[in-house]
């Protein structure tokens, strides 16, 4: 049996941990640039506000219902996520962190009654972290997903699907578009084939499904039939790609400004690579205008980083080269994104596979190695300085200093758990109502 633990309205719940006065009030968290709704409290869901809707379309509802807004504060959410996961780790030997707000637990060998077990998880996480969670338990991961769908819909705390009667009953009440792995396109196609519920899908021939929807479709059907095809993923797998993509606070037309933005994102990407102890062998960059405007334009390019790099100077140089190549003048760019691909594994010798050196390396092998070493030392120093004095304390020249193209986030909550200067104050002018149970 698999247990899926799913945090309720996670980002909103994180904000409420430090703002208990917002309990039972409508609260939303917005995407970067305060553009779209990415998390809603139950009160907001009850108003019929959908996930992902742009804020400007619902201004009137926000005002009318006095909805409390927050810019996204991923530092906070990431930190609270870590807390929740470490509490979950105390319950079972094997678990998979599936996303920032979800984890699968392997329930094999559990002596305890499952209803009791899930209740205990739910109350412990709430008490130790302040985050409310739902728990769904079933024989496969996909069925556990169905169980948590019921938790959300029916406002249960927990749901255990065990007997085939219970499972079939739950599946018959699950619309096909709610099944894990069936997206918008898939559900449209399935409906034209007469498959409307999860139960309908469970009853199709897996071999037919493979022909029509590839191996992924076949696995899905088998999972619904109770045959586990998706094992718990091992922990600490290396990432296969890393990205930094951002929309700008306003459209950018000038090359010089676009370059500042791209190089700023590149520095961040290099930092992420170093944090992960990985190197990239390829770097790709795209720049694009707004989807919603006429003459939509998207340009992209890829460049090789030779044997793999994660030092800031190498990546910055590569990104600038791509940008020169793909830039088209007089376009209102709205977004840029970088992706590091072909990442070397964390555990391989000397960080990165022991690759052959390139036959066509310029400047001779020794000069090249010396330069790489310098760049890596510089990057390490940069990391140390950023940790100590903040990420803005020292930047490379190409990133610019004014950068008024930066994303808007005017309603961000404090970094309550990661910055000494932003700890929650109790008493004084700014009294927070914290109830300690």
Question: Is residue 114 within 8 Å of residue 107, measured between CB atoms?
Answer: yes
Q: Is residue 236 a contact point for DNA (CB under 7 A)?
A: no
Q: How far apart are CA 279 and CA 241, in angstroms?
A: 10
Q: How far apart are CA 21 and CA 348, in angstroms?
A: 50
Instruction: Indicate which single residue of 242, 252, 285, 287 sits in contact with DNA (rule: CB under 7 A).
Output: 242
Which candidate, 2, 23, 10, 1, places its Cα nearest to that of 152? 10
- DSSP assignment, residue 106? E
Count of residues binding DNA (CB under 7 A)? 46
HSE of 5, CA atoms in CB hemisphere, 13 A: 32
Q: Is residue 206 a contact point for DNA (CB under 7 A)?
A: no
Instruction: Indicate which single residue of 108, 155, 207, 240 sits in contact with DNA (rule: CB under 7 A).
Output: 240
Q: How far apart are CA 234 and CA 50, in angstroms?
A: 34
Binders of DNA in range 311-350 (CB under 7 A):
334-335, 337
Q: Is residue 214 a contact point for DNA (CB under 7 A)?
A: yes
Q: Is residue 118 a contact point for DNA (CB under 7 A)?
A: no
Smallest distance from DNA to CB 331, Å? 14
Q: Is residue 288 a contact point for DNA (CB under 7 A)?
A: no
Q: Is residue 182 a contact point for DNA (CB under 7 A)?
A: yes
Smallest distance from DNA to CB 246, Å? 4
Q: How far apart are CA 41 and CA 360, in angstroms?
A: 58
Binders of DNA in range 4-23 (CB under 7 A):
none
Q: How far apart are CA 6 and CA 151, in angstroms?
A: 9
Instruction: Indicate which single residue of 68, 158, 174, 247 sits in contact with DNA (rule: CB under 7 A).
Output: 247
Instruction: Indicate which single residue of 192, 292, 330, 362 sits in contact with DNA (rule: CB under 7 A).
Output: 292
Smallest distance from DNA to CB 49, Å? 14
Q: Is residue 36 a contact point for DNA (CB under 7 A)?
A: yes
Q: Is residue 303 a contact point for DNA (CB under 7 A)?
A: no
Instruction: Indicate which single residue of 123, 164, 216, 391 sits in contact with DNA (rule: CB under 7 A).
Output: 216
Q: Is residue 302 a contact point for DNA (CB under 7 A)?
A: yes
Q: Which residues pair with 373 in a beta bridge?
A: none
The answer for residues whose C-beta is within 8 angstroms of residue 4's C-beta and 6 or more apart is 98, 102, 103, 104, 105, 135, 136, 137, 141, 144, 145, 147, 148
- CA-based angle 332:337:338, to the nearest 5? 140
- CA-based angle 70:33:325, to the nearest 5? 155
Which candidate, 81, 79, 80, 41, places its Cα nearest to that of 62? 41
Q: Is residue 46 a contact point for DNA (CB under 7 A)?
A: no
Q: Is residue 170 a contact point for DNA (CB under 7 A)?
A: no
Q: Is residue 155 a contact point for DNA (CB under 7 A)?
A: no
Q: Is residue 96 a contact point for DNA (CB under 7 A)?
A: no
Residues binding DNA (CB under 7 A):
31-33, 35-36, 38, 52, 54, 56, 98-102, 145, 179-187, 214-216, 239-247, 251, 272, 290-292, 302, 334-335, 337, 407
């Amino acid at each position: 049996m698999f247990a899926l633990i799913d945090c309720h309205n996670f980002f909103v719940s994180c904000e409420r941990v430090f703002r208990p006065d917002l309990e039972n009030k409508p609260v939303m968290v917005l995407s970067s640039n305060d553009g779209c709704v990415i998390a809603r409290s139950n009160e907001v869901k009850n108003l019929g506000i959908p996930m992902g809707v742009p804020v400007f379309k619902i201004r009137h509802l926000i005002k009318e219902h006095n909805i409390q807004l927050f810019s996204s504060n991923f530092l906070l959410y990431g930190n609270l996520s870590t807390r929740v996961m470490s509490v979950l780790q105390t319950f079972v030997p094997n678990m998979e962190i599936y996303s920032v707000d979800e984890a699968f637990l392997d329930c094999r060998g559990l002596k305890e009654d499952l209803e009791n077990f899930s209740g205990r998880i739910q109350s412990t996480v709430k008490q130790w972290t302040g985050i409310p969670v739902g728990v769904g338990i079933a024989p496969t991961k996909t069925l556990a997903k169905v169980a948590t769908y019921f938790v959300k819909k029916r406002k249960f705390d927990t749901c255990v699907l065990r007997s085939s009667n219970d499972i079939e009953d739950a599946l018959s009440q699950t619309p096909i578009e709610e099944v894990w792995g069936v997206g918008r396109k898939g559900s449209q196609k399935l409906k034209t084939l007469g498959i409307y519920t999860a139960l309908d899908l469970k009853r199709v021939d897996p071999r037919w499904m493979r022909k029509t929807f590839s191996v992924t479709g076949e696995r899905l059907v088998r999972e619904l039939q109770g045959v586990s095809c998706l094992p718990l993923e091992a922990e600490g797998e290396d990432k296969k790609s890393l990205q930094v993509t951002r929309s700008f606070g306003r459209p950018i037309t000038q090359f010089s400004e676009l370059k500042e933005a791209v190089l700023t994102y590149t520095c961040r990407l290099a930092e992420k690579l170093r944090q992960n102890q990985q190197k990239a062998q390829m770097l790709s960059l795209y720049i694009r205008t707004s989807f919603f405007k006429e003459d939509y334009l998207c340009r992209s390019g890829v460049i090789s980083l030779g044997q793999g790099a994660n030092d800031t100077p190498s990546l910055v140089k590569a990104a600038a080269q791509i940008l020169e190549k793909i830039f088209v003048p007089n376009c209102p760019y709205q977004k840029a994104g970088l992706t590091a691909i072909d990442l070397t594994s964390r555990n391989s010798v000397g960080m990165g596979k022991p690759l052959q050196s390139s036959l066509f390396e310029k400047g001779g092998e020794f000069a090249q190695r010396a330069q790489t070493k310098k760049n890596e030392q510089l990057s390490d120093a940069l990391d140390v300085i950023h940790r100590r004095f903040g990420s803005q304390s020292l930047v490379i020249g190409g990133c610019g200093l004014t950068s008024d193209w930066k994303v808007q986030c005017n309603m961000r909550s404090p970094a309550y758990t990661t910055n000494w200067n932003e700890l929650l104050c109790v008493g004084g002018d700014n009294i927070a109502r914290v109830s300690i149970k």
